[in-house]
Structure 1
Amino acid sequence: MTTWRSKDAPEAPRIGPLGWAVAGVRGLTLGTVTYGSLAVLLALRLVEAPVFRHRRPLSPFVTQFVCRSAFVILGMRYRVRGQPMRERGAIVANHASWLDIFTLNACQRIYFVSKSEVARWPGIGWLARATGTVFIARDPRQAKDQQRVIESRLRAGNRLVIFPEGTSTDGLRVLPFKPTLFQAFYTHGLDHVMHIQPVSVVYRAPEGREPRFYGWWGDMAFAPHFLKSLATLRHGEVEVIFHDPVAVDAFPSRKELARHCEEIVRQGLEQRLAPETR
């Protein structure tokens, strides 16, 4: 799998005694909210699964509550510009951090498309499976099977989120969008009923910290990055920008659709970061 890397090493976490105390309180609170809500979600799934199968009319509200609560617990400002689309379809966004899961779930009820390795991650993999994540293998030989899985979820009415860059970055750039997953939007007539909404996710570092503070990329371990987020006394902010949705059949192929979405997402990121990088 392709992994984005920076030439410069990321900022090393610096945690003092107060930071450790704050991390402990926040971690305990977030864990209680997350796993307490997970018990509620699993109970709801016992009702949903046999009746609605892939459709989940109730449990996504629990996920959304947890993700909104996370920003309150962290003390991180959260802003939304634009509106989630009402049309049937999917979301494509830039990918900067594990925080993207909370960021995008907090403002709408969605399901992520993620690499298959995540399903095996301790703790996180279990949560991802419980919340309906679609896992795919980054193997060209399995492309057809992956497309069928995505198509079935879309036909069930699930709003999927795809990160077409294929890797996370430092949050200051948008990598070229890979068009492979866009092919699922063109199968068996889906292109005539589907819309795609490009979304830009913009992180602003805490005052005095480097701009890449929230980025999580390359071989960076999850635990230290998560701990740094818990221990930071004064957080920055994240902004979600919903751009105008586009009809899939307005583009002759997945490549044209991917290029359009990439351009829109990149413009959104650059425009919102521009005042801070002059």
Structure 2
Amino acid sequence: MSWIEAEPPVTQIGAVGWARVLWRGLMLGSVTFGGLIILLLIRLIEAPKHGMRRPWTPHITRFVCRMAFPILGIEYKVTGLPMTQIGAVVANHGSWLDIFALNACQSVYFVSKAEVARWPFIGWLARSTGTVFIRRARSEAKAQQKIFEERIRAGHHLLFFPEGTSTDARRVLPFKPTLFEAFFSHGLDRIMQIQPVTVIYRPPEGEDPRFYGWWGDMAFGPHLLKVLAQKHQGGVEVVFHRPVNVSDFDSRKGLAAAAESAVRAGLPYEIARAR
């Protein structure tokens, strides 16, 4: 991590706040697990019939993720359109809420570090929805690149977080070009595009600007409780930028730099910091 940021002060949850935690938690859990059960049942038919392709189940994932925002009371907005051509998506990573925000408006499959597969609840959901898990080891680079290529050629839009870590949701860290190497293999660069996406969080009025940010060693449980207990929520906006052709770039570094520039320009906090 190239920056040091202290965590926001701990918010005390009162009796009314705990009531909201219970109500919203039950609603969110019911929709999530109900959708997961339906997804797994449909997958029993979808997998033998369509193999790696998933023409049906991503719609369930999108519905569940879209419903999360009215349940939480968070305003949700989308600007621009997701691409339809073969390719991949890259976005900034500021919170665990990114999973809901980025899934709610498009059909994507996340690329995540292998440790996430072992996380309680989150890992189970990720595996069920087709997440690609990777290990950051040179010895596995070729095998992972083959998986990326197979999924992309199957029509999957893989979603990468090139920063390599989450932030306070108010900045963009330098994009690591390593994962972009997969887009230059076996002629993929001639047929695919990369779409940069910016996720913008607006905190509740009067709250810390980093309210929705989740980074460093912050525990998931307390952060989830804080969001569930919040009376007046803020908002999140997903901004789709113009896709770029991989073939327009000579190297992964050039492509990573262009994608980072587009994502960074879409974040108002970064614009303010640069002035």
Name the TM tier (shorter chain): over 0.9
1:70-219 to structure 2, matched below 5 A, reads 70-219=68-217
- Checking the alignment, whether the CA contact within 8 Å between 1:202 and 1:273 is kept in structure 2 is no
- In the alignment, which residue of structure 2 is the partner of 1:13? 11
TM-score (norm 2): 0.96
**1:140 Cα offset (Å):** 2.3
- Checking the alignment, whether the CA contact within 8 Å between 1:200 and 1:241 is kept in structure 2 is yes
- In the alignment, which residue of structure 2 is the partner of 1:36? 34
**1:76 Cα offset (Å):** 0.4
- Checking the alignment, whether the CA contact within 8 Å between 1:115 and 1:137 is kept in structure 2 is yes
Cα distance between partner residues in 2 of 1:223 and 1:181: 30
Cα distance between partner residues in 2 of 1:11 and 1:55: 45
- Checking the alignment, whether the CA contact within 8 Å between 1:11 and 1:213 is kept in structure 2 is no
Letter in 2 for 1:9: E
Note the residue ranges of structure 1 that are not aligned, 5 or more in a row. none
Letter in 1 for 2:176: K
* 1:108-160: CA deviation from partner (whole Å, max 9, x where unpaired): 11110000000000111111000000000111221111111111110111011
TM-score (norm 1): 0.95
**1:13 Cα offset (Å):** 2.5
- In the alignment, which residue of structure 1 is the partner of 2:254? 256
Q: Percent identity, aligned pairs only?
A: 61
- Checking the alignment, whether the CA contact within 8 Å between 1:4 and 1:169 is kept in structure 2 is no
Q: CA RMSD in A?
A: 1.7
The alignment of Structure 1 onto Structure 2 pairs a total of residues equal to 275
- Checking the alignment, whether the CA contact within 8 Å between 2:199 and 2:237 is kept in structure 1 is yes
Note the residue ranges of structure 2 that are not aligned, 5 or more in a row. none
Cα distance between partner residues in 2 of 1:27 and 1:90: 32
- Checking the alignment, whether the CA contact within 8 Å between 2:86 and 2:153 is kept in structure 1 is no
- Checking the alignment, whether the CA contact within 8 Å between 1:196 and 1:247 is kept in structure 2 is yes
Q: For 2:64, what is the secondary structure of its paired residue?
A: helix
Cα distance between partner residues in 2 of 1:270 and 1:262: 14
- Checking the alignment, whether the CA contact within 8 Å between 2:171 and 2:269 is kept in structure 1 is no
* 1:65-111: CA deviation from partner (whole Å, max 9, x where unpaired): 00000001001000111111121111000000110000000011111
Change in 2 beyond 3 A, CA 1:4/1:58: farther
Cα distance between partner residues in 1 of 2:138 and 2:230: 41
Q: For 1:235, what is the secondary structure of its paired residue?
A: coil
- Checking the alignment, whether the CA contact within 8 Å between 2:95 and 2:212 is kept in structure 1 is yes
